[in-house]
Structure 1
Amino acid sequence: MIIRSAVDQTLPSFTLVGLMVPPEALVIPLYFHLRSAGLTDSYWALILPQTAQSLAVSIFWMRDSF
């Protein structure tokens, strides 16, 4: 139970940190990461960042609801 309570406390903290960082602060580093991976000018360059951002919101929302 000690491990579970530690995870229960750290997961919401990481989720909140992810929600507090403005997306504008991540645009330039994200571009360089996508360029080094060869994903610029592709649908994956749109899908992956949106999924990562939406995942943080949905985890926080679902955790509060259930």
Structure 2
Amino acid sequence: MSAAGIDASILSWRKSTYSDGGGGDCVEVADHFPGAVPIRDSKASSAGPVILVGNAAWSAFVQHVREA
């Protein structure tokens, strides 16, 4: 899935509840994107890349994190 051409500034980003509370290792996700979950590094949010992960893959990842 390609993130090329996505205007990340129009997405509503939130910090993952599983991110480091110390402000170091933080991941942001955007909700309500059709068919995928946009992800970015909060330290490079305005200039960094956006990665799109398919909904099924994201659900499997979150489930694994919850079980860890």
The TM-score normalised by the length of structure 2 is: 0.29
Please tell me whether Structure 1 or Structure 2 has the larger radius of gyration of its CA atoms: 1
**Greater helix content:** 1
The TM-score normalised by the length of structure 1 is: 0.30
Higher RCO by CA contacts (8 Å cutoff, separation 6 or greater): 1
